[in-house]
Amino acid sequence: MDWISEIDKLRKEKNAIILAHNYQIAEIQDLGDFSGDSLELARKATETDADMIVMCGVDFMAETAKILNPGKKVIIPSLNAKCPMSAMLTRQELLEAKAQHPEADVVLYVNSGADCKALATSCCTSANADKIVNAMESDVVIFGPDRNLAEYVMKRTDKKIIPVPEKGYCYTHAQIRLEGVKDKMEKHPNADLVVHPECFPEVQEIADAIASTSGMLRYCKESSAKEFIIGTECGMLHRLEKENPGKKFYPAFDDAICLQMKEITLEKLYNSLKNEQHEVKVPEDISERAIKAINRMLEIS
């Protein structure tokens, strides 16, 4: 089966748009109508006139696209493509934090469930977290679920940040350890170190740049450096290499793989388009409240 041309036929027949996150396998990034970071994917979902959105990413990205397009069919090719960090924050824990800090605004990373987003003042992504927090009215901000992103924000705001849960993290970025990164720097002394804010603070501290996945693309394109050590999920290297011929990219950790992102294969994408599954549904009452937090983010950033 020539998956790529079959997928192409189906997407035209069904007037579907394929959105692919920067961590998807290379073939899916290449055939997507658009690939980008979480913020760009959310924005793209507000701009499309396609009848169907196929999200090649993880659960919270598909949910966000559905919340922004309640009238459209949104599908995700694998039900196992669920972000473990997003699942680390429960609605109950968030309600408790809100009860303890009634004066606080709540800023939630888009990597969170729709039921939690429904309780937030605003969402944020790694591309705009400090900007969003600084735009809040209250001087106290409940922030979750990523503790490392919370620490990144703490260094860029005078507001008091309350992380919920206390230690939410991304297991993919948690594998990128200081010692390993230092080894890579010794091996490639002329390379710039570019890391994602989901990395540990000690890794962020020695980096030349800290950026979201699309921020990394911009940084590496504009930099005069010719070599880069990249501290994020390894799928990112595909676009970096493709868009920067002549520059060299090395992963900060060779096996920094998000298994949930890699759940989506060409075969699953083909089947999902053919059978129009798995359809993403968000209860109306949750969706109506969560959209306010997502739109607030899109307005501020």
Binding ligand SF4 (rule: CB under 6 A), the pick from 258, 264, 282, 290 is 258
Binding ligand SF4 (rule: CB under 6 A), the pick from 50, 89, 170, 290 is 170
| Min dist. Cβ of residue 215 to ligand SF4 (A) | 15
Does 56 bind ligand SF4 (CB under 6 A)? Our answer is: no
Instruction: Tell me the CA distances in angstroms from 170 to 13, 46, 107, one per residue in order.
Output: 37, 27, 18
Does 194 bind ligand SF4 (CB under 6 A)? Our answer is: no
Enumerate residues 190-249 that contact ligand 13P by CB under 6 A.
196, 198, 212-213
- Contact characters 149-168, ligand 13P, x per CB under 6 A: --------------------
- Contact characters 86-125, ligand 13P, x per CB under 6 A: -------------------------x-------------x
Closest CA to 148 of 86, 106, 199, 202: 199
Classify residue 129 by burial, with Cβ atoms within 10 Å: 0-12, 13-18, 19+: buried
105-109 and 73-75: which strand pairing? unpaired
Do residues 65 and 279 make contact, with C-beta atoms less than 8 angstroms apart? no
Q: Which stretch binds ligand SF4 (CB under 6 A): 97-105, 212-220, 253-261, 287-295?
A: 253-261
Enumerate residues 49-88 that contact ligand 13P by CB under 6 A.
83
Binding ligand SF4 (rule: CB under 6 A), the pick from 85, 94, 132, 149 is 85
Classify residue 223 by burial, with Cβ atoms within 10 Å: 0-12, 13-18, 19+: middle
Cα–Cα distance measured from residue 216 to residue 214, given in angstroms and rounded to the nearest whole number:
5
The single residue listed with the structure tokens 């680390």 is: 88
Do residues 252 and 191 make contact, with C-beta atoms less than 8 angstroms apart? no
- Binding at 260: pick from ligand SF4, ligand 13P, none (beta carbon under 5-8 Å per type): ligand SF4
> Which stretches of the chain bind ligand SF4, using CB under 6 A?
58, 83-85, 111, 170-172, 233, 258, 260-261
